[in-house]
């Protein structure tokens, strides 16, 4: 049964802090509000993959520059240091981490398999070429190195194939003609012969709808997906057969619907990309992250794709195949800073409520928005946000609502590999502390409320926390993980967990993410500009049985 907490009204009072800086006295006011999170524990509203968290590795060479900054360094699939111990530990900490290998240049990569027979040249910057670079090449010795690392790290791999191979660029900027699959088939065959494990093969990158750089019609793309499906079935022979993913592009409802309708038996996962914060030069980037109305805007895409899949004959599921931001050149690297975790975790929470099975972050490393620092491999704040989600948020998504300030975002799932539920609470307000009571609605509580209504009672009943106060012990204590920026600086690249700095040690070990314990009947305190994960094992609801 669930928790017993009276629904509380909203109260607000002000705390005044006085700071004396020389002869200047600054008065800072802070409000305190109360609110209630209602978790409907009767049934789950959606489900996610157990390894929901995913990150990308890209192809960009060091010469790739944006807004006057060349931010990729040695973070490419072709030059990344695979022997860095911190990098290995960062991936292993997820056990497992899904990694999508792909990005803009993937459609210009030739695999050195001998089919076709041609020199293996690396990417060269050339502004007259599509995407600003010549074609590149993946040597098989490098593919061997990558797979050795993935196996050692226990990563789950999705590989993006070169969907522009063989096509002709038309005068209107579109790419026409069928995909030449011979080179991709030779890579797949090589991979199987080497015994490398692939979770999925993905066709193309950002060629849907209007495309980025160029585009392919949905009808042609569907034909190519069917061909890829046939190739995979032929080469694998039904043994450990990877999934087929497409199109890895920006969502266009009509284009996506046509693709899905024409590939009901060939496409396993439908991926779309999200960059809803816009370009890094946008001076309103921070305002967007802290605006709940703006954050809610992406729900339209999740809902539309969910409806397309539901109304189609397909059994395919939805993924976010790539998502991130850019950086704000006006104030440091925002997407390496604490503030970006507000957007990132809200995206994870929102997308999961629409039955999105996996969410791939651009990037694991590289491009000013990596989970890891491009040069040092040290985790950025979002790395720890992702790791906490991975360890705490289970597969079953629960309907969650919050009564109180509009700046408080709330999501809940059944706890991962544990009893109870886990709450994610995000406070976008820098001046308000929120004290949150948690109540759960179950089949029992609905029945009780119906009976009370028949007897014209105005009281509302909610299910109780199992055990009662007399049985309170370490087993049912609430576990809380409070995340804040160091010194309260939203642009800080240092994250605090329960007041302690998260940092790797000299051996490159990822720090333990340890909670503080709290009484499950006490309110959860969410400080200004902070994030809280709260695992409540004492809340036992039918959806989590």
Q: Where are the domains of the chain?
A: 49-396
pLDDT 10s digits, 487-509: 999 999 999 999 999 999 999 99
Peptide bond into 501 cis (omega under 30): no
Closest by alpha carbon to 512, among 530, 527, 525, 500? Answer: 500
Report the percentage of the chain scoring pLDDT > 90: 81
Helix (H) or strand (E) holding 381: helix 381-392
Is the pLDDT at 160 greater than 80, yes or no? yes
Classify 238 in phi/psi space as left (phi over 0), alpha (psi -120 to 50) or beta: left
Tokens of 497: 């967990």
CA distances 112 to 80, 122, 227, 508, Å, are: 19, 11, 21, 34
Classify 491 in phi/psi space as left (phi over 0), alpha (psi -120 to 50) or beta: alpha
Nearest 5 degrees, angle CA 386-CA 392-CA 396? 105
Q: In sequence order, which residues have a C-beta less than 8 Å from that of residue 69 and are 6 or more positions away?
A: 327, 329, 368
Is the pLDDT at 284 greater than 90, yes or no? no
* Contact (Cβ atoms closer than 8 angstroms) between residue 349 and residue 424: yes
Residue with structure tokens 């695979």?
A: 82
Active site (annotated) includes residue 258: no
Peptide bond into 114 cis (omega under 30): no
* Contact (Cβ atoms closer than 8 angstroms) between residue 466 and residue 540: yes
User: Average per-residue pLDDT in the chain?
Assistant: 90
| Catalytic entry in 112, 202, 206, 480 | 206
Tokens of 522: 């006490």
pLDDT 10s digits, 442-474: 765 555 454 455 544 333 333 444 444 434 566
In the three-class reduction of DSSP (H, G, I as helix; E, B as strand; rest coil), residue 409 is classed as strand
Query: Which ranges of 135-239 does DSSP label H, i.e. alpha helix?
Result: 140-153, 182-193, 218-236
Tokens of 235: 């080469």
CA gap 55, 358 in Å, rounded: 10
pLDDT for res 336 = 85
Active site (annotated) includes residue 206: yes
| Bridge-based pairing state of the strands 175-176 and 168-169 | antiparallel
pLDDT 10s digits, 183-194: 999 999 999 999
Domain boundaries 49-396, corresponding CATH code: 3.20.20.80
| Catalytic entry in 298, 322, 441, 479 | 322
pLDDT 10s digits, 331-370: 445 668 999 999 999 999 999 999 999 999 999 999 888 9
Buried b (16+ CB within 10 A) or exposed e, 63-73: ebebeeeebbb
Backbone angles phi, psi at 355, to 5 degrees: 70, 25
Residue with structure tokens 């040290």?
A: 378
* Contact (Cβ atoms closer than 8 angstroms) between residue 485 and residue 339: yes
Is the pLDDT at 25 greater than 80, yes or no? no
């Amino acid at each position: 049964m669930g928790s017993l907490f009276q629904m509380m009204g909203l109260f607000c009072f002000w705390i005044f802090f006085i700071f004396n800086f020389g002869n200047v006295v600054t008065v800072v006011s802070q409000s305190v509000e109360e609110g209630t999170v209602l978790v409907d524990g009767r049934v789950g509203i959606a489900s996610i993959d157990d390894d929901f968290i995913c990150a990308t590795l890209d192809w960009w060479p060091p010469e790739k520059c944006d807004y006057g900054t060349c931010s990729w360094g040695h973070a490419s699939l072709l030059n990344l240091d695979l022997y860095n111990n911190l990098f290995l530990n960062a991936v292993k900490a997820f056990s497992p981490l899904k990694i999508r290998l792909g990005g803009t240049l993937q459609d210009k990569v030739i695999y050195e398999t001998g089919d076709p027979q041609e020199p293996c040249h690396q990417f060269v910057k050339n502004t007259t070429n599509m995407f600003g670079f010549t074609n590149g090449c993946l040597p098989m010795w490098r593919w061997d190195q990558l797979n050795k690392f993935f196996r050692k790290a226990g990563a789950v791999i999705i590989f993006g194939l070169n969907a522009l191979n063989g096509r002709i660029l038309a005068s209107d900027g579109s790419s026409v003609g069928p995909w030449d699959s011979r080179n991709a088939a030779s890579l797949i065959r090589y991979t199987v012969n080497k015994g490398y494990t692939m979770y999925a093969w993905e066709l193309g990158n950002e060629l849907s709808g209007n495309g980025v750089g160029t585009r392919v019609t949905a009808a042609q793309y569907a034909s190519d997906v069917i061909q890829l499906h046939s190739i995979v079935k032929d080469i694998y022979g039904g043994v450990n057969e990877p999934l087929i993913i497409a199109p890895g592009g920006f969502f266009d409802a009509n284009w996506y619907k046509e693709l899905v309708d024409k590939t009901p038996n060939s496409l396993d996962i439908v991926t779309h990309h999200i960059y809803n914060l816009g370009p890094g030069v946008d001076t309103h980037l921070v305002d967007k992250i802290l605006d709940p109305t703006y954050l809610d805007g992406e729900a339209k895409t999740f809902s539309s794709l969910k409806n397309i899949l539901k109304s189609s004959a397909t059994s395919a599921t939805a993924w976010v195949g790539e998502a991130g931001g850019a950086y704000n050149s006006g104030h440091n690297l925002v997407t390496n800073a604490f503030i970006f975790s507000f957007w990132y975790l809200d995206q994870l929470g929102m997308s999961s409520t629409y039955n999105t099975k996996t969410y791939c972050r651009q990037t694991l490393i590289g491009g000013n928005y990596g989970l890891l620092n491009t040069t040092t491999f040290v985790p950025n704040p979002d790395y720890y946000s992702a790791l906490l989600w991975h360890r705490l948020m289970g597969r079953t998504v629960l309907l969650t609502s919050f009564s109180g300030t509009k700046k408080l975002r709330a999501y809940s799932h059944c706890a991962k590999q544990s009893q109870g539920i886990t709450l994610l609470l995000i406070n976008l307000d820098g001046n308000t502390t929120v004290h949150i009571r948690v109540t759960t609605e179950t089949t029992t509580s609905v029945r009780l409320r119906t009976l009370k209504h028949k007897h014209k009672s105005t009281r509302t009943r909610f299910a109780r926390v199992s055990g009662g106060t007399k049985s309170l012990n370490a087993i049912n204590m609430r576990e809380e993980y409070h995340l804040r920026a160091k010194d309260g600086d939203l642009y800080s690249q240092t994250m605090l967990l329960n007041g302690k700095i998260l940092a790797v040690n000299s051996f490159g070990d990822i720090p333990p993410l340890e909670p503080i314990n709290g009484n499950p009947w006490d309110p959860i305190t969410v400080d200004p500009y902070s994030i809280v994960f709260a695992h409540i094992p004492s809340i036992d609801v039918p959806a989590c049985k």
